[in-house]
A and B are shown apart, each in its own frame.
Chain A
Amino acid sequence: MKATVLIRPKEGILDPQGKAVERALPALGFSGVSAVRVGRMVELEVEDPSALPSLCEKLLANPLIEDYEIQPLPDQG
């Protein structure tokens, strides 16, 4: 199975990267953008999809500071 894993800073945790991006936007003429958060995306192919949550908890995300979301991708025949 192909999947995308989205990893985000947990709600309530200051994301200085997001803040820096947010502050840079007005300088480029983009106004009205707020609540920017920067995370990571991991694409992978996995033989046993049931392993995905544990794989995310143990390596891809640090559950203390990050939330993750697994999005299965349709296989391209």
Chain B
Amino acid sequence: MRFGVLQFPGSCDERDALQACERVGAARMLWHEDTDLSGIDAVVIPGGFSYGDYLRAGAIARFSPAMGAVAEFAAAGGPVLGICNGFQVLCEAGLLPGALLPNESVRFLCRQVELVVENANTPFTRACDPGERLSVPVKHMSGRYFAPDGMLEDLEAGGQVVLRYAPGHNPNGSVRDIAGVCNEDGNVMGLMPHPEHAVDPLTGSADGLRLFASPALQPAAA
């Protein structure tokens, strides 16, 4: 299993993401100008402030050359995980449904939250049990998940709501406590919390590692 961690100018969590991937497989960094994903089995788009968050978080990053390659990789069924800014980029790129709005509190949030695994049958959650709780930190300014009502119904019906904030843990006003969603095929997933910051008991929780361990459980991508 070889992960590619896609770094944009302004990314800041790529080292932790790389380190998390290396705990369960091989990993290398990808630069935003790279268009060659050969040899990569799963792509991780890490958190940060790609292109300074200009205009809207993720709005500029979606036009980078690497994102064209990521879209093709995803269309071919390759697993793609977007964390925080990576989630925002995937939504802006139309690879995931919905959008991320500024936190209800208008404040930057940094705290540990509890998540509930709603769908344990995606490439990123199959190391988890349905209903399992994960303790993972959030740190973001625009993490309020939003989708119009009709889209929400489709997401719920299709099992695309993968992670929810546990009752009382919704930090940002996300609709229906949604913390992470996937695309219709389930191979592209995004979440606002940071599993890559929760991979060692030294930092309080190693629960995040389960999301990285999951892709390694599946047969290598064709």
Contacts and interface: CB of A to CB of B under 8 A. Distances in A.
> Does A associate with B in a complex?
yes
A64 B103 CA distance: 17
A17 interface: yes
Contacts of B147: 64
Contact of B101 (A13, A19, A40, A59): A13
Contacts of A16: 102-106, 173
B67 to A, nearest CB: 13
A36 interface: no
B146 A13 contact: yes
Given A64-B99, A65-B146, A14 B55 contact: no
Contact of A59 (B55, B99, B106): B55
Nearest to A63: B99
B109 interface: no
B71 interface: no
Interface residues of A, number: 13
A17 B98 contact: no
B173 A64 contact: no
B127 interface: no
A77 to B, nearest CB: 31
A59 to B, nearest CB: 7
Interface residues of B, number: 17
B56 interface: yes
Interface in B56-89: 56, 59, 63
Nearest to B56: A62
A62 B58 CA distance: 11
B118 interface: no
B196 interface: no
B167 interface: no
Residue of B55, B63, B173 with most partner-chain A CB within 10 A:
B55
A20 to B, nearest CB: 5
B101 A65 contact: yes
Interface string A18-47: 011000000000000000000010000000
Contacts of B63: 59
B200 to A, nearest CB: 34
Interface in B94-115: 98-99, 101-106
Contacts of B146: 13, 64-65
Contacts of B219: none
Interface in A44-64: 59-60, 62, 64
B106 A64 contact: no
B113 to A, nearest CB: 19
Given A64-B98, A65-B146, A17 B59 contact: no
Contact of B106 (A13, A20, A40, A62): A20
Interface of A: 9, 13-14, 16-17, 19-20, 40, 59-60, 62, 64-65
